[in-house]
Amino acid sequence: MNRVISSFRDGKGFDIALVGAALLFLGIFAGLPLVYNVVMSFQAVDMFSLGTFARPFVGFDNYIAVFSEPIFWPVMRNTVVFVVASIGGQFVIGFGLALFFTLKFPGSTYLRGLFLVSWVMPGLVVGAIWNWILAGDFGVLNFALTGLGIIEDNIFWRSDTAFSLWAVIIANIWLGTSFNMILLSVGLASIPRDLYEAAALDGANGWQRFWTITLPMMRATIGAVISLGLIFTLQQFDLFAAITSGGPANSSNVAQYWAWDFSFRQYDFAKGATISVLMIALVMVASVIYVRSTRHEVRG
Amino acid sequence: MTAQPQIELTNIDKHYGSFHALRDINLTIENGQFVALVGPSGCGKSTLLRSLAGLESISGGTMKIAGDVMNGVPPRKRDVAMVFQSYALYPHMSVLDNLTYSLRLKRRPKSEAEAAANEVAATTGLQKLLRRLPRELSGGQRQRVAMGRAIIRHPKAFLFDEPLSNLDAALRVHMRKEIRALHDRLRATSVYVTHDQIEAMTMADHVVVMREGVIEQQGAPLELYDRPANMFVAGFIGSPAMNFVDGTVDGSGTGARLALPDEPSIQIGKRLEPGRKITVGLRPEFLQLASGDEAALHLSVTTVESTGSTTYISSLGEPEIVVVVNGRTDVAAGDKIGLAIAPENVHAFDPETGKAI
């Protein structure tokens, strides 16, 4: 008995207890729902069988049903456009800002801190504000674009099928840029200054220093930012709910919103679960990339 | 060698806000010379080196490299190479890529770059390490890569910023010789910053001693040792440091009474006005144990430390006196010893200005 106590106090027992607690938490709150979700995607689920686990297995019927939905491919296309455009915009603007803030002008650290405000705002609030900005008749964005002579007529961002998805993307880029910037700033700060000095003496101009020093040294950070961005973007639900509700005519519907719509509006839990499983597969790929990119971290 | 100096600094000034980092620096470095900038930390030696590289801007004066004015020229256009204290190797590149980085930037053909890298690797003993990443190398090997990266460019000047300070003592002594041997072979103009006066003395043709942004003295290493211009240089060059004792010139003008117990009198090797207050400098290695009439001063010993080849005898007091004796001695702590010094080895300084008399 004493040995057990002392091993808990000083030895391996303590480590095991810590790891065990984390595993237990993950198992109950992430593992079980995940498994349940996968199981459900192979079952016939309706309102009457919702309360029991013993439901008839239907094999890949749910998958076949989802794939043959007329809006399946449009939704997948929207999801890809949403993810790629959001991450692209967040990353490019975030990296630009991160590089800008390395210039260390007076007040730069405070200004950088202010950018985080966008990240602490609830998605629904951000959505509500962007609804005003994007409004077709009185929106600030249209006012600015017409004022600058970029467009002639107002764009009805939220109700025009050609723009509705982009309305959400713009809001999402705004929401995620600061997260990208902060992570990339940390990555930039960890590159030793003397590498740039050595490169400058070796004859590299600013552009060459960026390509040969900054980018390769940022590989791990960039990998992490993009894979986390993929996960956050696939999670983005609030903005769709607040800005377009997936419409009009599913023109801004994406997988995560569609899954919610199946499960909680149409109460077709099996199809909702099926779409979620497809998304889990995608996130798994992103996670593997993320883990691999941080493992290959290069530090002098 | 060309007649034109390779590096010419005239009236260089550098301010950081209100801090005056470099004051009126004048320094001429001939082609092929190995110059050491030495001084305590914060003396401006690294700032001067970084200004030469273009990594710091200067506030005033003219900086010429190979005859061209370099004020305001960006580092990449100065054609100088620098070996950093941290080595600053590119951690994501192999040794080969580190060496050929500058050539690849100039878009030299791959074959030419690799041939040059092989040649440099042979010079620096890196042949077998070309595929390794910097993190897979030892400190000494990293040091060699940093040197190789500089050599491959055939620059107008090599700048070294305390390159050996991250190595352990034994390797440091070894690399010191290697760098000097390399310099003797390549005959490239080199500026070497160090806080270690032994490195400066053993490696350089010309030593520049700096303090608080000012050049205190420059010259050949032994010239600084034999004829220090002031008390700072006298105390900085030589190890252990020179003993300083206050004294007064006696009636004859060729001797001085020292402010030590018993007020001993020694010959100072020069004639000064009687009664003048001076500071006498006695190098520990020139003080010799003596007895009877030969002993000019007597001290009681506080500690005796022996390294086997050399023995350090100290007499703690105001001031402390250290004596270095070759080999071993039977002097023990608590003993009273007699010391003598040849008049030509006695330095005299003005206690007000610190300048040599």
User: What is A104-130 written as a DSSP string?
Assistant: --TTHHHHHHHHTHHHHS-HHHHHHHH
Q: What is the DSSP annotation of B291-342?
A: -GGG--EEEE--EEEE-SSEEEEEE-SSS-EEEEEES-----TT-EEEEE--
pLDDT at B256 over 60: yes
Task: Give the residue numbers spanning the domain of B257.
Answer: 243-349
Question: How far apart (Å, rounded) are the C-alpha atoms in residues A240 and A237?
Answer: 5
Instruction: Compare CB distances from B91 to A200, A212, A300 and report the shortest one's residue.
Output: A300
Say if A299 is an interface residue toward chain B (CB within 8 Å). Answer: yes
B176 shares a domain with B49: yes
Q: Do B88 and A205 touch (CB under 8 A)?
A: no
B255 shares a domain with B181: no
pLDDT tens profile B49-98:
999 999 999 999 999 999 899 998 999 999 999 999 999 999 999 999 99
B334 shares a domain with B189: no
Domain boundary among B236, B261, B294: B236
B304 shares a domain with B189: no
Asked if the structure places residue B67 within a domain, the reply is: yes
For chain A, the average pLDDT equals 88
Asked if the structure places residue A262 within a domain, the reply is: yes
For tokens 């009877």, what's the residue? Answer: B292
Asked if the structure places residue B295 within a domain, the reply is: yes
Helix (H) or strand (E) holding A34: helix A32-40
B302 shares a domain with B196: no
Specify the pLDDT at position B3: 63
B83 contacts on A by Cβ (under 8 Å): none
Question: How far apart (Å, rounded) are the C-alpha atoms in residues B90 and A201?
Answer: 13
Q: State how many domains chain B has.
A: 2
> Residue B347 phi/psi, 5° resolution?
-100, 145
Predicted confidence band at B1 (pLDDT cuts at 50, 70, 90)?
very low
Say if A281 is an interface residue toward chain B (CB within 8 Å). Answer: no
State how far residue B322 is from chain A, nearest Cα, in angstroms: 42
CATH number at residue B110: 3.40.50.300
B228-252 in b/e form (b: 16+ CB < 10 A) is: bbbbbbbebbbeeebbbbbbbbbee
A 43-82 → B contacts, CB under 8 A:
none
What are the residues whose beta carbons fall under 8 Å from the beta carbon of B81, sequence distance 6 or more? A201, A202, B149, B150, B151, B153, B155, B157, B158, B159
pLDDT at B152 over 50: yes
pLDDT at B104 over 50: yes
Q: Do A198 and B84 touch (CB under 8 A)?
A: yes
Length of chain A: 300
The stretch B239-258 carries a mean pLDDT of 91
B323 shares a domain with B208: no
Asked if the structure places residue A205 within a domain, the reply is: yes
Identify the closest residue of chain A to B85 by CA–CA distance. A194
pLDDT at B316 over 50: yes
Asked if the structure places residue B2 within a domain, the reply is: no
Asked if the structure places residue B57 within a domain, the reply is: yes
pLDDT at A210 over 90: yes
Q: Do A201 and B53 touch (CB under 8 A)?
A: yes
B217 shares a domain with B333: no
Asked if the structure places residue A11 within a domain, the reply is: no
B188 shares a domain with B283: no
B221 shares a domain with B194: yes
Asked if the structure places residue B357 within a domain, the reply is: no
Domain boundary among B191, B214, B236: B236
Q: Do A202 and B153 touch (CB under 8 A)?
A: yes
Alpha carbon B167 to its chain centroid, in Å, reads 17
Q: Do the interacting molecules here have an ipTM over 0.90?
A: no
Q: State how many domains chain A has.
A: 1
pLDDT at A153 over 90: no
B209 shares a domain with B254: no
B171 shares a domain with B297: no
Predicted confidence band at A1 (pLDDT cuts at 50, 70, 90)?
low
Say if A206 is an interface residue toward chain B (CB within 8 Å). Answer: no
Asked if the structure places residue B356 within a domain, the reply is: no
Task: Give the residue numbers spanning the domain of A169.
Answer: 41-295
Q: Which of B164, B158, B241, B151 is nearest to B195 (CA)?
A: B164
Out of A44-53, A176-185, A254-263, B300-309, least confident range: A44-53
Asked if the structure places residue B35 within a domain, the reply is: yes
B221 shares a domain with B100: yes
Q: Do A198 and B74 touch (CB under 8 A)?
A: no
CATH number at residue B338: 2.40.50.140
pLDDT at A300 over 50: no
Asked if the structure places residue B169 within a domain, the reply is: yes
Specify the pLDDT at position A112: 85
Specify the pLDDT at position A299: 46
The stretch B258-271 carries a mean pLDDT of 88
State how far residue B102 is from chain A, nearest Cα, in angstroms: 5
The stretch B236-255 carries a mean pLDDT of 91
Predicted confidence band at B330 (pLDDT cuts at 50, 70, 90)?
confident
Specify the pLDDT at position A98: 92
Domain boundary among B190, B219, B236: B236
CATH number at residue A110: 1.10.3720.10
pLDDT at A298 over 60: no
